[in-house]
Amino acid sequence: MEEMEEELKCPVCGSFYREPIILPCSHNLCQACARNILVQTPESESPQSRRASGSGVSDYDYLDLDKMSLYSEADSGYGSYGGFASAPTTPCQKSPNGVRVFPPAMPPPATHLSPALAPVPRNSCITCPQCHRSLILDDRGLRGFPKNRVLEGVIDRYQQSKAAALKCQLCEKAPKEATVMCEQCDVFYCDPCRLRCHPPRGPLAKHRLVPPAQGRVSRRLSPRKVSTCTDHELENHSMYCVQCKMPVCYQCLEEGKHSSHEVKALGAMWKLHKSQLSQALNGLSDRAKEAKEFLVQLRNMVQQIQENSVEFEACLVAQCDALIDALNRRKAQLLARVNKEHEHKLKVVRDQISHCTVKLRQTTGLMEYCLEVIKENDPSGFLQISDALIRRVHLTEDQWGKGTLTPRMTTDFDLSLDNSPLLQSIHQLDFVQVKASSPVPATPILQLEECCTHNNSATLSWKQPPLSTVPAEGYILELDDGNGGQFREVYVGKETMCTVDGLHFNSTYNARVKAFNKTGVSQYSKTLVLQTSEDTDSEEQTLPFPVPSERLPLRRMSPFSSTLNLQPSFPGRSYFDLRSSPHQLSLHSSLQSLNAPVAWFAFDPGSAHSDIILSNDNLTVTCSSYDDRVVLGKTGFSRGVHYWELTVDRYDNHPDPAFGVARMDVMKDVMLGKDDKAWAMYVDNNRSWFMHNNSHTNRTEGGITKGATIGVLLDLNRKTLTFFINDEQQGPIAFENVEGLFFPAVSLNRNVQVTLHTGLPVPDFYSSRASIA
C-alpha cells in the first residue's frame, strides 16, 4: 500500500487529492490546485471566438503549441505565457513533488464559494502538470470537468488504513487526538476545540456527539456520492458513450452531443472494463514478479563479483610475488586494473539495481492502485478512469519487455595473466583480455551396471572417461519414441543419473547421451537399447552389482507423457547383454515371475492442478480450494491387472471425492468424470455414483467416513473397472470396454485428505473369480 501513495498525490500541491477532477488527458488535479494554475488567454483564443470562426468543435480546445509555447527556451518544465496583458510573465514555481506549475496570475478574490463554484476569469486556460497539454475552459469553468469519485474512495481507504489515531480537524498547529465526532457537522474535535467551536448550546445542542471510532465507522458506512453528468448536473449517469468513451445521462442522449453516438448499458461496460483492467494487470503482475527475481539475481551478482574479485586478486598477487622485486612494481599497476574493472562492474550492476528498483516500485504502486480501483462499486466513476489505467498498465508492461530484465554486466573477470616471458620483458607484461578457449568435453560413458528398467520406467547412468581433463558443464540425454522414430531430449543438466517415467509397456527404446561446455558439444555415447516390461504380473531379476544407495537418480517423465520430477528410483534392476553391433548395448527386463504382481507409483506433482497439495513423498494429497481439483498417478497402465487403495485421512462437511482412472489430458479443474477423459466413482457419507462424460449411473448405498478405504481395480485383460469400499465391492462392475493408456486419478477439495497405497496384490476373491471366468 505504501508504494501506491504516489498515485494518490496531486502533482501540484504534493498532498493527497482533495475533490479531484479528471482532465481530458485522463490526469487528475485537486479543484483548488486547478484553480491556482489557471492562466488567462487572449480573446482570440477563447472558445467563443473559435466557435464563431467554425474552427472549434470540442468543449475543451487544446492550444496550438505552434502559436503559444508552453515551454521556455531555457527550461524543459512549465513556463508562463508571455505577451498577454492579462497574464504577465512570471517566473515558474515548483510543486512539492518537483513539477513546475504556473503561479496564479493574480490573487483570487475573496469568496465563500467552493473552488468548483467560484467564478473563474474569462478565457481561462489550464495546463496539465504531467503531460503538458493545455486547454481553454468554456463557460462552465472547472464545473465542466468530471469528479473522480473512485480516486476519492481509494484515498479514504488508504488514509483510514494509515491513521493509527484520529486527530482533531480544527487544531491550527500540531493536531491533538480527537475525543468526539459530531455526526451532523462530520468533524472530529479535541476537547479544547469542541468547547471553543462546538459549544453545547443553541442549535448545536441538538447535534449528536459520538466517540471517534464510532464516527469513523459511520463515515465508512455512509453512502458514496453518485457521479452526476457534467452537462446536466441534476442527472445521474445512466449509459456509456462508446465513441466518446465516457458516461452520459439520458438528456445527453436526447438533446446533447451524444444523441447520434453508439451507447451501451453502464453496468455492462463497467464489468467489461473491469475485466480488461484485470487481464492487463495479470500481465503486469508477471512482469513485476520477473523484476523481483531479476533484482535478486542482480544482488547475487554483486556478491559473486566481490568473491570473484577476491579470488582473482589472490591469483594475481601469487603470480606477481613469484617474480620478486621486478614484478612488485608491475603488480601495483595490474592490481589497479583489476580494481578498476571490479568497480566498473559493481557500478554498472548497482546502477541497474537502482534503476530497476525505482521502476518496480512504480509498477507495484500502479498495480496496487489499479486493484483498489477495481474494488470500487461506482460504475460511472470507474469508467471515467478505466481507459487511462488500461493504457498505463499496457505501457508499463511494454517498458518491462524492452530488455530491462537482462544484466548489463557479467560476473566473470575475463582476464588472465601471462607469466611466461623472461624477467627482462616484465615491463611489457599485461593482461590477456580473452581467455583461451578450451576443447569440447570427452564423450561420456554409459555405466551399464547402474542402468535398469522397472515396469514402464528406465534409469540410466553415465560418467566422464577416467583420463578426461576437460570438464563438462552438463549432459544431454536423448530417447526415441519407442517405435524407431527421431530422438528427443528428455534431460539437460549436471546430473549423471536420470530415471525416465511414463514409457509404454512392452516397448523398445534407444537412449544416448552427450556432454557439453561453453566451447561445444561432445560426440554421442554408444546407443543403449531399453526393453520395458510386458506387464506388472512379474518381478524383475537383478544383477549382483548394486546401485550405490547414496546416489539418487534424477527422475524424469517421458517427453511423450508428462513433466520433470526429482525422486529416488525404484529398487528394481534389470540385466543387459551386448549385441553384435559394436556401437549398441541392449538392456532387457526379466519377466520370470517370482512373487505376486505389484506396481509401485505415487502421485505426479508435475501434471496436478496448481491447487493440489502433496506430502508424504507424494503419497498423501489434499487441496487448497473449495472446488474439486484433479491429481494423477505417475504411472500409466495399458495392459495387465492393477489394484491400488486410498485411505481417507480427513473428511469434513460431507464432500464428494472421486476416485478412478483418467487420460493424461483430463480436465484438472472439475470433478473427475465430468469429461470423456475420466472414469470414476464419486461418493459422499451415504451413497456413491459412477460417472463418465458427466453421466451419473448406478447409485449405490454406502458411503465413506474418516478412516475408510477405497479400492480401485483396473483389469485391462477383461477391460473392466471395479471399485471397493472397506474391502467390499461397491455396486456392480463400474465400467466395461475400457481400452488404452490409463493413469490412476483422484479429485477432491480442501475438506478431504487421502493417502495412496500401491504395490498391493489383486484381492484373492477377485483372482479366484477371474480364474473361474
Torsion of CA 129, 134, 139, 143, to 10 degrees: -30
Q: Residue 411 corresponds to which cell in the numbers above? A: 560476473
d(CA 216, CA 473): 64
Q: What is the pLDDT of residue 516?
A: 92
Per-residue pLDDT band for 216 (boundaries 50, 70, 90) equals low
Ranges of beta strands (E only) in 249-378 are: 263-265
Q: Which CA distances in Å does 70 have to 134, 135, 720?
A: 8, 11, 82
d(CA 646, CA 658): 11
Per-residue pLDDT band for 741 (boundaries 50, 70, 90) equals confident
Q: Print burial letters for 339-348: b (CB count within 10 Å at least 16), e (below 16).
A: eebbeebbeb
Q: Residue 610 corresponds to which cell in the numbers above? A: 496448481
Among 726, 604, 736, 713, residue whose Cα is nearest residue 660: 713
Q: Which residues contact 440 (CB under 8 A, 6 or more apart)?
A: 470, 515, 516, 517, 519, 520, 521, 522
Alpha helices in 561-718 (DSSP H): none
**For range 564-586, the mean pLDDT:** 34
Q: Which long-range contacts (CB under 8 A, 24 or more apart) does 76-81 make?
A: 78/102, 78/127, 78/129, 78/132, 80/39, 81/39, 81/41, 81/125
Q: Give the chain's length.
A: 773
Residues forming beta bridges with residue 93, ordered by sequence position = 101
Decide if pLDDT at 597 tops 80.
no
Phi, psi dihedrals of residue 336, rounded to the nearest 5° = -60, -40
Decide if pLDDT at 84 tops 70.
no
Q: Print burial letters for 415-452: b (CB count within 10 Å at least 16), e (below 16).
A: bebeeeeeeeebeebebeeeeeeeebbbbbbbebebbb
Q: Which residues contact 719 (CB under 8 A, 6 or more apart)?
A: 736, 737, 738, 739
Phi, psi dihedrals of residue 66, rounded to the nearest 5° = -70, -30
Which of 144-153, 438-447, 492-501 is the least confident region? 144-153
- Mean pLDDT over the full length of the chain: 76
Among 526, 501, 507, residue whose Cα is nearest residue 448: 526
Among 649, 566, 548, 573, residue whose Cα is nearest residue 604: 566
Q: What is the pLDDT of residue 577?
A: 32
Q: What is the pLDDT of residue 477?
A: 93
Distance of CA 604 to the CA centre of its chain: 23
pLDDT tens per residue, range 409-428: 888 887 777 666 655 565 66
What is the DSSP track for 459-508? EEEEE--TT--S--SEEEEEE--SSS---EEEEEES-SEEEEE-PPTT-E
**For range 692-699, the mean pLDDT:** 92
Q: Residue 471 corresponds to which cell in the numbers above? A: 570438464
**For range 212-219, the mean pLDDT:** 67
Which of 96-110, 126-140, 598-612, 696-710 is the least confident region? 96-110
What pTM was estimated for this model as a whole?
0.32
Distance from first CA to last CA of the chain, Å, rounded? 70
**For range 555-575, the mean pLDDT:** 35
Other CB atoms closer than 10 Å to residue 242's CB: what's the count?
Answer: 13
How many CA atoms does the CB half-sphere of 502 hold within 13 Å? Answer: 25
| Side chain identity at residue 695, one-letter code | S
Tell me whether residue 281 is exposed, middle or buried, using C-beta atoms within 10 angstroms of its C-beta: 0 to 12, 13 to 18, 19 or more: buried
Q: Considering only residues 479 and 258, tell me which one the structure prediction assigns the higher pLDDT.
A: 479
| Side chain identity at residue 232, one-letter code | H
d(CA 217, CA 226): 20
Q: Which residues contact 693 (CB under 8 A, 6 or more apart)?
A: 673, 675, 676
Q: What is the pLDDT of residue 50?
A: 52
**For range 516-520, the mean pLDDT:** 87
**For range 440-453, the mean pLDDT:** 88
Helices (H), strands (E): how many in the chain?
10, 41
Distance of CA 159 to the CA centre of its chain: 28
By the 8 A CB rule, do 38 and 120 touch?
A: yes
**Which residue bears the cell 508435475?**
606
CA angle, 145 then 151 then 153, to 5°: 125
Per-residue pLDDT band for 470 (boundaries 50, 70, 90) equals confident
Q: What is the pLDDT of residue 475?
A: 94
Q: What is the pLDDT of residue 261?
A: 82
Q: What is the pLDDT of residue 624?
A: 93
By the 8 A CB rule, do 168 and 187 touch?
A: no
pLDDT tens per residue, range 21-35: 888 888 888 988 888
Ranges of beta strands (E only) in 532-657 are: 554-557, 575-578, 584-588, 612-615, 620-623, 629-632, 641-651
Q: What is the pLDDT of residue 656?
A: 92
By the 8 A CB rule, do 141 and 119 touch?
A: yes
Decide if pLDDT at 75 tops 60.
no
Q: What is the pLDDT of residue 2?
A: 62
Per-residue pLDDT band for 730 (boundaries 50, 70, 90) equals very high
**Which residue bears the cell 514402464?**
456
By the 8 A CB rule, do 637 and 740 touch?
A: no
pLDDT tens per residue, range 701-721: 999 999 999 999 999 889 999
Q: Residue 180 corresponds to which cell in the numbers above? A: 468526539
Phi, psi dihedrals of residue 392, rounded to the nearest 5° = -65, -40
d(CA 670, CA 651): 19
**Which residue bears the cell 473361474?**
772
Per-residue pLDDT band for 633 (boundaries 50, 70, 90) equals very high
Q: Considering only residues 366 and 505, tell me which one the structure prediction assigns the higher pLDDT.
A: 366
Strand duo 527-531 + 508-516: pairing: antiparallel
CA angle, 129 then 132 then 137, to 5°: 85
